[in-house]
Structure formats: structure tokens, C-alpha cells
Amino acid sequence: MGNEAAEHSGELIHYLATEVAPGFVVHMQTMYMTWITMAIVFVLIFMAAKSPKMVPSGVQNVVEFFIDFLNELMEGQLGIKGRKYMAPFIITLFMFIFISNELGLLPQVGVHWTSPTNDINTCFALSLTVAIGVHIIGMCQKGLSHYKHYVSPSPAFLPLHLLDELVKPMTMALRLFGNILAGEILLIVLYQLAPWIVPELWVMFSLVIGFLQAFIFTMLTLTSFALAFAHH
């Protein structure tokens, strides 16, 4: 996780791959950054909920802004019932991806900061969690009738729906991974070519990109879960 160890790895993006068992490799840098991301999300929510005020300020104001924003999205896609049911998962998912995306933009002082979402393994884990969760929630809400849409409007559409089930997690993961990885690589290159002003401008732009990618992933998640709460 330190800068020195990262530099000695000789890689532009340092995953610090470690073989923990024969044939079993763990990206320790991704693990460290994932734990830090989870800790940051926990601390933010804890600080916001510790002593809530009627007129929010500081951390509570920021967290409530995101929660209100996500609640509107959920209500639009899932309805009131769906929002109440899915709010904990969706808010946690968005906050984790958002903080993950921004973590790699921190100054490389003492610690080699990277985004957990610059690792394809993290992105696939998130998209597979959503894909599996859709089936679990769909079964809980509708039982086997949840799968009626596979043969709607005709059984001939079954292969297309099955293909969609395979392709959607891949596209969600690759979109998030590609954008975050490309942004971090470009930031490293800019610091090497023009260490003043230009990288700072790119950091500001990347902050927006990090939010947009978290938003897009969350919206795709909501559209996936929408079928579980649809009544027609």
C-alpha cells in the first residue's frame, strides 16, 4: 500500500498481486483500498446519523443530499414500496462506488491511493451482486411469475432475454472499470509530463466523472430491479 512498494512493482497501476495459496492470487492493493472505502462510508453515515438536526449542516447536509437524490431515483424506478425495500442496498451501493471512484484522486503522499473500482475484479463483483440480487428479490416479491418476462411478448424472445442476463453484468462492470482505470492512468501520465496545473484540472474533471459513473451504475441497477416491483 505504500508508495515505495508500489514503485518497486514496476507497474503503472499497482495491484500488489500476492499469491496467498498455490494458484490463488489476491490483489492486496485493491483489498486495502476496499477496506478504506468501507471505513469512509461507515464513518460518513455514522457522523451524519450521530446527532441529526432539523436543519442539517456539515456532513449531515452532504449525506442527506445524496440520500434525497437517491430516494427520488428509487421512487421513480421502483415505486414507494420498492424504495422502502431497496433503499439500504441502493444507498450503500452508490456510496461505496462513489467513494471508491474518488479515492484514486487523492495525492500520492505516503500512501499509494488507488480506486478499488480500477480493478476489474471489484467491478465484476459489484455487477454480479446486482445480477444475483435481482433474481433473489424478484422471487421474494413475485415468486416464479417473476420469470414471465423471459417469454414476453413471445417465447421466441427467450434467447434474447437470456443473452441479456449474461451481457448486462459484463457491460456494467466493463463500463465502470474502463472509465476509472483510464482516468487514473491519464492522471499518472499528466503528472509525469506536466506536473503543474494540468493534472489539477484533470482531477477536478475526474471528480465529476467519478460521480457520473456511480450514478450510471446505480441507475442500471435500479432498472434491473424495477421488474421485481412492476405490477404490469
Along the 232 residues of the chain, how does pLDDT read in single tens digits? 555 554 444 566 778 888 888 888 999 999 999 999 999 999 999 999 888 888 888 899 999 999 999 999 999 999 999 999 999 999 999 999 999 999 988 776 667 789 999 999 999 999 999 999 999 999 998 888 888 888 877 888 888 888 988 999 999 999 999 999 988 888 877 777 776 776 777 788 888 999 999 999 999 999 999 988 876 5
Domain that holds residue 22: 3-229
Distance CA 33, CA 219 (A): 24
* CA distances, 155 to each of 79, 113, 139, 143, 228 (Å): 28, 50, 20, 19, 20
Distance CA 221, CA 232 (A): 19
Question: CB 214: neighbour CB atoms within 10 A?
Answer: 23
* Domains identified in the chain, total number: 1
pTM of this structure: 0.88
Angle between helices 158-193 and 58-103 (to 10 degrees): 90
Strand pairing category for 24-27 and 17-21: antiparallel
Q: What type of residue sits at position 70? A: L
